Amino acid sequence: MEFKPNFKGSAKMLVPMILNSPREDLNLISKAVNQRMKQLTELETKSFNKRDRVFFDYQGETIRGTVIRVNKKTITLRSDNDVEWRVSPKFLELEH
């Protein structure tokens, strides 16, 4: 199965280079991507504070709750029906 990306911008130029790179280069690229993903997660996490009201979708249902702890990679919240959840910040939205 051939990988046929539909990217825009810089990714459009990078993908062909990646697809033709040797393993050694791919290992370095992988480390750089993982480092950037970690940075983005940490930035997303910092946008939430204890006691924030948040919501996210889970299996077609909207879960609403209050942030009780901001961890390095996840946000811990207690839902309105008293269930504790650990959720990646990329899935959470602040209630307005």
Q: What CATH number is attached to the domain comprising 84?
A: 2.30.30.140
What's the confidence (pLDDT) of residue 64? 98
What's the confidence (pLDDT) of residue 5? 63
**Three-class DSSP labels, 9-60:** CHHHHHHHHHHCCCHHHHHHHHHHHHHHHHHHHHHHHCCCCCCCEEEEEECC
What's the confidence (pLDDT) of residue 47? 93
Write the DSSP symbol of residue 74: -
What's the confidence (pLDDT) of residue 40? 92
Specify the number of domains making up the chain. Answer: 1
Cα diameter, the chain: 51
2 domain residue, yes or no: no
Q: What is the pLDDT along the chain (96 residues), one digit of tens a residue?
A: 566 667 677 778 888 899 999 999 999 999 999 999 999 998 999 999 999 999 999 999 999 999 999 998 999 999 999 999 999 999 999 998
5 domain residue, yes or no: no
